[in-house]
């Protein structure tokens, strides 16, 4: 069938503890709530795009275990195609231990497990679909060479690409920039990639310009409550796109909601400007921070104002 958005990326079981603050090294503190959810940046982005109405598919790997079985069920429940989801008994389904403080901030440790066994073989298996997709989205929770290869395959087949360098590494392979139509990162990731501090739109514009010079077509630096900054090769002057002020309950996965929405707009509204897509994606992500969890907080099309469509 048709595919608007193909994500080659991660699935993680999120083990979330809510606590008044993040513990220090060696410290034990009491939290007030624990829950298990479906996460992983790849699947989060895919599920958000699907909930907005995109035809989506995931190329990913989970374990042959309880969490893996449940994850596949979750993708199906969200109308994400699982034709290219594989299971392995050589590693466990990826897991993320997440602590969320009362300010809605988080700290996360991921153990990628089965995600790291996704490779070339699976990419070639999904190649017919990849070639027909409108947008391919990748992150860094699988092996970097798997992400890079899928971006290269997409570029060769004229499929538009969004690359989200998360979690960021300082020594990112330079080819990632050359095969990304849109390079989308948050302020922390931008800092790690450039070595410059990002506190607001002005700094974001500067690091965005630096990232743009490395060879992508457009850069988006997301800034949480300050919205985002957009730059493109044709018009490299940074454009700040503010977002509505909301009370954040849990910002975990808000960046993924933004990217999933962006992928949806690129696939389904290819003629609107990147600035307008970012403005709308800001609004989708702002809804997600007002509820706990990652995918549990992502809105469906029916929950959003009609002017977003
Ligand atoms: O971006 C949020 C995600 O990061 C969480 O769902 C967690 O799984 C980690 O991968
Ligand atoms: Na949330």
pLDDT single digits (tens) 203-218? 999 999 999 999 999 9
The answer on pLDDT for 103 being more than 90 is no
Quick check: pTM over 0.90?
Answer: yes
At 2 the pLDDT is: 84
pLDDT at residue 1 above 80?
A: no
- Substitution candidate for ligand 1 out of 7, 11, 44, 292 with most atoms within 8 A of CB: 44
For 42-64, what is the mean pLDDT?
98
Q: Is 297 in the pocket of ligand 1 (CB under 6 A)?
A: no
Give the relative orientation of helices 66-77 and 41-52 as an angle to the nearest 10 degrees: 20
If you take atom 6 of ligand 1, which residue's CA is the nearest one? 39
Over residues 10-23, the pLDDT tens digits come to 999 999 999 999 99
* Section 154-175 average pLDDT: 97
In angstroms, rounded to a whole number, what is the distance separating the alpha carbons of residues 204 and 179?
Answer: 22
Centre of ligand 1 to C-alpha 252, Å, is 7
Predicted confidence (pLDDT) per residue in 218-249, tens digit: 999 999 999 999 999 998 899 999 999 999 88
pLDDT of residue 40: 98
Cα separation, 287 vs 282, in Å, equals 9
pLDDT of residue 105: 85
257-293 pLDDT, tens digit per residue, is 999 999 999 999 999 999 999 999 999 999 999 998 9
Residue 236 Cα, ligand 1 centroid: separation in angstroms? 31
- pLDDT over 90 percentage in the chain: 95
Residue of 14, 290, 296, 227 whose CA lies nearest to 141: 14
Q: Look at ligand 1, atom 10, and give the residue with the nearest C-alpha.
A: 40
Dist. CA 40 → ligand 1 center (Å): 4
Q: Alpha helix locations (H) across the chain?
A: 41-52, 66-77, 120-125, 127-132, 144-156, 175-178, 187-194, 201-213, 254-268, 274-288
Q: Respond yes or no on whether ipTM tops 0.95.
A: yes
Assess contact for 85 and 109: CB atoms under 8 A.
no
Residue 128: C-alpha distances to residues 135, 161, 202, 223 (Å)? 14, 16, 42, 36
Mean pLDDT of 169-176: 96
Return d(Cα 136, Cα 158) in angstroms, integer. Answer: 10
DSSP 141: S
């Amino acid at each position: 069938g048709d595919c608007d958005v193909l994500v080659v990326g991660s699935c993680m079981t999120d083990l979330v503890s809510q606590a008044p603050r993040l513990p220090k090294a060696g410290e034990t503190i009491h939290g007030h709530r624990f829950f298990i959810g479906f996460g992983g940046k790849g699947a989060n982005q895919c599920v958000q795009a699907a909930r907005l109405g995109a035809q989506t598919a995931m190329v990913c790997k989970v374990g042959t275990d309880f969490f893996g079985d449940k994850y596949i069920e979750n993708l199906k429940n969200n109308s994400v195609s699982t034709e290219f989801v594989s299971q392995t008994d050589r590693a466990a389904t990826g897991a993320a231990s997440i602590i969320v403080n009362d300010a809605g901030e988080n700290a996360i440790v991921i153990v990628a497990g089965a995600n790291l066994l996704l490779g070339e073989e699976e990419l070639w298996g999904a190649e017919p679909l990849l070639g027909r997709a409108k947008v391919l989205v990748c992150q860094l929770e699988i092996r970097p060479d798997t992400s890079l290869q899928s971006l290269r395959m997409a570029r060769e087949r004229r499929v538009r690409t969004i690359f989200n360098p998360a979690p960021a590494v300082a020594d990112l392979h330079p080819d990632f920039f050359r095969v990304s139509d849109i390079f989308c990162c948050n302020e922390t990731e931008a800092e790690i990639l450039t070595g410059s501090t990002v506190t607001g739109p002005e700094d974001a514009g500067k690091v965005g310009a630096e990232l743009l010079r490395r060879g992508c077509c457009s850069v988006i630096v997301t800034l949480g409550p300050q919205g985002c900054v957009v730059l493109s090769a044709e018009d490299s002057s940074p454009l700040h796109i503010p977002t509505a002020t909301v009370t954040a309950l849990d910002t975990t996965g808000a960046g993924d909601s933004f990217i999933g929405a962006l992928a949806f707009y690129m696939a389904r509204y290819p003629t609107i400007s990147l600035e307008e897509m970012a403005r709308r994606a800001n609004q989708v992500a702002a809804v997600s921070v007002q509820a706990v969890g990652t995918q549990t907080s992502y809105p469906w099309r029916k929950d959003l104002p009609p002017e977003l469509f």
